[in-house]
Each structure stands twice: as structure tokens, then as C-alpha cells.
Amino acid sequence: MAAPKSHTPTQSHRDAPAFPSLPVCPLLCQHRDGCAGPTPSPCGIFGFPMWEGAQSYVRTPRGCQTHPALLGIKLPVLLLAGQRCCTFSQVRTALGSVPSTAASINPARMGTVTLELSLLTVALLLCPATAMLRIGAFNIQSFGDTKMSNKEVAEIIINVLRRYDVVLVQEVRDSDLSAVTQLMEQLNSASTSQYDYEISGPLGRENYKEMYLFIYRTDVVSVVDTYQYEDPQDVFSREPFILRVSAPSTKVKEFVLVPLHSAPHDAVAEIDALYDVYLAIINKWGTDNMMFLGDFNADCSYVQPSDWPSIRLRTSDIFKWLIPDSADTTVGKSDCAYDRIVVCGSKLKRSVLSNSAGIYNFQRAFQLDQEQALAVSDHYPVEVKLAA
């Protein structure tokens, strides 16, 4: 008979600042992925750094090049302009700091800089006032004090998490919340809006426990309710800690997030049991707009092709799997689609932006070698966008 699983009360915390949730500008973007490869992904005319001290890049016929006019300039606007755009009032405030930084600009480049700032303002004004909502799930292997005490690793984790409006972090092993507190302080100090979080109690059988951590931007998302699934049949090693969230800027307006980090050798049974969680949520909240996300261990030796017919979450056409079996969500040499996102409910399905679901390869984005990447995690985040 399985040992009883323990729970502690849900905990919540509030701190300070993240990027404004506005859409990609046609002229301007933040180069979130560094300068990897001959054709850097999301950059328009300019690419601005996401963290202080990073280089600024432009796209040229020869690929990604350092932008000479912006070297050495530290303007708030460079940190405000992300792969989402700023409001005009924020741009005006940021540009107001130009005189205080002008002394550091080479006079020979002043005309170029003035032109760049003018184009920046125009680009930001072209941005519409609505935005998509980006949701992610990241298994940060054994996240706790050790990870946060490594400055380089912590910086990468912060910069990955700030991509998202809502993100599920798994494998949190931090009973006193010291690492979570440090994470939130650094995340908010690096951002311009506020992030908050909801976290489960320690979950697991016997001595090994993990927590589910949801981090979200308070200006675009609010938590309506939480629900710790009771798991009467004791199927789950770490039963879902479920959030009901409101996101007024999205088409769906309100939906439910259901996390799962399955025990590898019980993955088939646990993924199948998410169907029972689906029924319990309908009974509790009367909604079928749900997103199941996390490290399902749903591939390779843990879930084989012959197992899928016995998994109701897969065989029912109620559910749409957004991360395909062909994906590789692992950092190491294995090639497995362990991490998944599954949606149901007509409103939520219609809200999913076409082709927006995928894997964020932080190893390539931050130009890390294998050892450096594995120091962060053995999984890549999976993500999806919801339309405004």
C-alpha cells in the first residue's frame, strides 16, 4: 500500500516589477534568443538586449551584427522594449532620461543615436494596444538554493522565466521557500511590472517531495481560485495543484491550468488519470476550458506507441495535444517529447494562436555548451500563446 502523501497549505507572495504585455512591434523587437545563426529569429530593424550588459544587434544581409550606435548606451527604453512593445507614456518617460546618459555617448555618434531614438518612438507608436498571453512550463531540475546560489545559472533561469506571462515551474525542492523568495526578488528587480506566485505544498510519497510553482504577471493575469486535487485512488505521485485564472485581455477570459510532473514509470497511468481530473474540475467549477501542462514523461521508454490507446487524454477528441510526439524537450543526448501542453474547451482551443506552441531552446538562445545547459536543467520549457 502506498505511503500517504502530505500537503501543506497553499502559499502566495507579492513582490515588484515585468515587461508590459503588448504585442510584437513591426519595426522593433527584443532579441530574446541572442545572436545564434545567420538569421536571428524575432528581430526587426533593431534588437535590444534583455539583460544589462548584453550586446545590441541589428539584422543585416550578412546576418546578426553588433549595432555600433547603441554600444555603451544604457537607456530605460532598451529594457522596456521587449518582444512586446511599450506604451507611449513609458517611451516618453524613458526618453526623458536621455540627457543624463548623453555624456557617455561619443559626439560623433550623437546624430545616429538621435535617429535611432526617433525611429524607436515611431516603432512603439505603431504597436496595437492588445497582446497575446504567453504561457510556459519549465521543469527546472531540482530547483532550490543550489541553483539560485549559482549566479550564472540563476541569471539564465530569470531570463527564461521572464519570457512568460504565466509559467509553471516543476521540481521545486525548497521547503522553506528561500530559493523561491530569492527567485521572485531577482525576477521583479529585473522587470518593469509585477510578478506574483502560487505554490503548492510539498507533494510526493515517502521522503521525496516536490512543489508546483506558478509565476504570473499581475497586470495581465489574476488567480480566481486554487484546487489541490485529492487523488482518491492514489494514482499520482504529485497530484495536480490547479489554478483557475482570469486573463481579461484574452479571447477565453478565464481558464484552468492543470500541472503534472509524472513519476516516469507511472507516466501512462498518471496521464490517463488526468481525464478524471478533467471531470472533477467540471464538477467543481463548471468549466471545460483547461490547459494541462508539464513534464508528463510522455515519450521514449515511459510512454511507448502501444500505450497511447489506453490513455483517455489522448484518445478522446475533446483534447488537443499542442506539443507533438516528434518534439525533443530534453537538453541531453536523448530525443524525447517528455514535456507537453494539452488543451480542451471550445473557447480555449479557439484562443490558441496557430503555430505558437513549441519548445524554447535556451541552450541555443544563450549560446551555452552542453555542460552549461545541463547546469540549468535537463529539460527545455514548452510554451504556447493565447490570442487577445
* Cell numbers linked to 125: 507608436
Marked catalytic residue, from 198, 261, 379, 383: 261
CA Rg, the chain, in Å? 22
Burial class (CB in 10 A: 0-12, 13-18, 19+), 246: middle
Q: Is 210 a catalytic residue?
A: yes
Distance CA 230, CA 75 (A): 50
* Cell numbers linked to 371: 555542460
Marked catalytic residue, from 198, 210, 239, 383: 210
Which DSSP category does 352 fall into?
Answer: B
Q: Is 261 a catalytic residue?
A: yes
Reduced DSSP (H G I as helix, E B as strand, rest coil) percent helix, strand, coil of the chain, to 5:
30, 25, 45
Q: Pseudo-torsion of CA 191, 193, 198, 202, nearest 10°? A: 10
How many beta carbons lie within 10 A of that of residue 105, not counting itself?
18
Closest CA to 331 of 368, 294, 292: 368
Which DSSP category does 366 fall into?
Answer: T
Q: How many C-alpha atoms does 90 have within 13 Å on its Cβ side?
A: 20
Residues contacting residue 190 through CB under 8 Å, at least 6 positions apart: 51, 158, 159, 162
* Cell numbers linked to 187: 525576477
Residues contacting residue 149 through CB under 8 Å, at least 6 positions apart: none
Closest CA to 136 of 154, 153, 161, 173: 161
Distance CA 250, CA 356 (A): 15
Catalytic residues: 210, 261
